[in-house]
Amino acid sequence: MKKLYTFGKYLKQKFHTSVYKVPISIPGFTCPNIDGTAARGGCVFCENESFSPNLKQKERFTLNLNSTENPLLEKQIESLKWQFENTLPYLKKRFNAKKFIVYFQSWTNTYAPFETLKALYEIALGFDDVVGLSIGTRTDSITDETLNYLANLSKKTEVWIEYGIQTSNDESLKRINRGHNFQNVIDTITKTKKLDLNVCGHLIYGLPGESRKDWEKTFNDTMNLNIDSIKFHPMYVTKNTLLAKEYFEGKFTPINEKDYIDILVWSIKNLPENISIQRMTAGIDTLLAPQWCKYKNKQMSHIIKALKENGVKV
Ligand code: SF4
């Protein structure tokens, strides 16, 4: 019988205690898809506030990417410490968390001068009870220098790189204004895996113009990339996004809950046993549509029920 292999289980087996990710948003960080280096205007669904709990707490800065002297670094370090210390009590109380992985979540967390990245990663690793890092980024925004540095770091500590894959369909990648194609995803993940780094891939089911056939192809293409962990998301619409405009103009119809759960269950049943699952859906504060994406707990109970009915041990 197929068993659900969560990232929590992976961490527990590895560290013999409960380990939780602490989400962090670094002030001054941005994204090549927002500053116009990759594409203009960002991904159609981008509203970092909707998936970054700590982002609302921070001030925004403009980072000079051409400068190796970063006058913001002190402020960035201060913010990193503040966010970490303020999230810890909640994780300890709610989940009895004992150890932590610092999760650089918002924006593109390898898109800054190398010395800035190195300083922030090393400060994070120095916090009490931190056993590793997880770094969210794009496949077109990580240099060989950063990859080699992280590969060395991973010999001493847990290091994860989280890449947004979203879809393997190049037409869809253009349609969502992603700013890179699927070949870029293949090349960067292949390079990352050659360095023995842990890779988590994010997939979105329900992108504009896509159907079940595209979702299955994206899943199968992703399985060829030798990733170690995966996050699944339904495509939802949040306020202040390009997708919200399309939604109001009737140009985008969100995926319904049944179709999402069907493709999710199919994916989990076809997932190789060594790939852990970090996310099966999301609950969103700033949600516009579809309404079934509002409450994560309710969605999770429907997902767990469907998994059990389809022979997956949860
Ligand atoms: S890559 Fe991430 S941060 Fe950048 S525009 Fe897309 S969703 Fe937003």
* CA 31–ligand 1 middle distance (angstroms): 6
* CA 306–ligand 1 middle distance (angstroms): 31
Closest atom of ligand 1 to 178 CA is 6
Residue 80, amino acid: L
Counting every residue, how long is the chain?
Answer: 314
* CA 312–ligand 1 middle distance (angstroms): 33
**Is 34's C-beta closer than 6 angstroms to any atom of ligand 1?**
yes
The per-residue pLDDT for 148 is 98
**Is 243's C-beta closer than 6 angstroms to any atom of ligand 1?**
no
Quick check: 285 pLDDT over 70? yes
* CA 178–ligand 1 middle distance (angstroms): 8
- The H or E element that residue 17 is part of is none
Secondary structure class of 222 (helix, strand, coil): helix
CB atoms within 10 A of CB 302: 15
- For a substitution probing ligand 1, which of 48, 141, 165, 243 has the most ligand atoms within 8 Å of its CB? 48
Alpha carbon dihedral 125, 193, 98, 85, in 10-degree steps, equals 40
The per-residue pLDDT for 47 is 85
Q: What is the Cα–Cα distance from 95 to 87, expressed in whole angstroms? A: 12
The per-residue pLDDT for 62 is 44
pTM of the model: 0.93
- For a substitution probing ligand 1, which of 43, 109, 111, 204 has the most ligand atoms within 8 Å of its CB? 43
- Which residue's CA lies nearest to atom 7 of ligand 1? 46
Residues 217-238 as b or e (16 or more Cβ within 10 Å = b): ebbebbbebebbbbbbbbbbbb
- For a substitution probing ligand 1, which of 108, 142, 184, 242 has the most ligand atoms within 8 Å of its CB? 108
Quick check: 69 pLDDT over 70? no
Can you tell me the mean pLDDT for 204-216?
Answer: 98
* CA 262–ligand 1 middle distance (angstroms): 27
For β-strands 19-24 and 229-234, DSSP reports them as: unpaired
Q: What is the pLDDT of residues 152-201, one digit of tens each?
A: 999 999 999 999 999 999 999 999 999 999 999 999 999 999 999 999 99
The per-residue pLDDT for 39 is 85
The DSSP symbol for 286 reads T
- Who wins on pLDDT, 52 or 138? 138
Secondary structure class of 12 (helix, strand, coil): helix
Mean pLDDT of the chain: 93
Q: What is the Cα–Cα distance from 38 to 157, expressed in whole angstroms? A: 32
Query: What domains are defined for the chain?
Result: 2-313 (3.80.30.30)
Can you tell me the mean pLDDT for 105-132?
Answer: 97
Name the phi and psi angles at 180, rounded to 5: -150, 165
**Is 107's C-beta closer than 6 angstroms to any atom of ligand 1?**
yes
Instruction: Mention every residue, 6+ apart, whose C-beta is less than 8 A from residue 219.
Output: 203, 267, 270
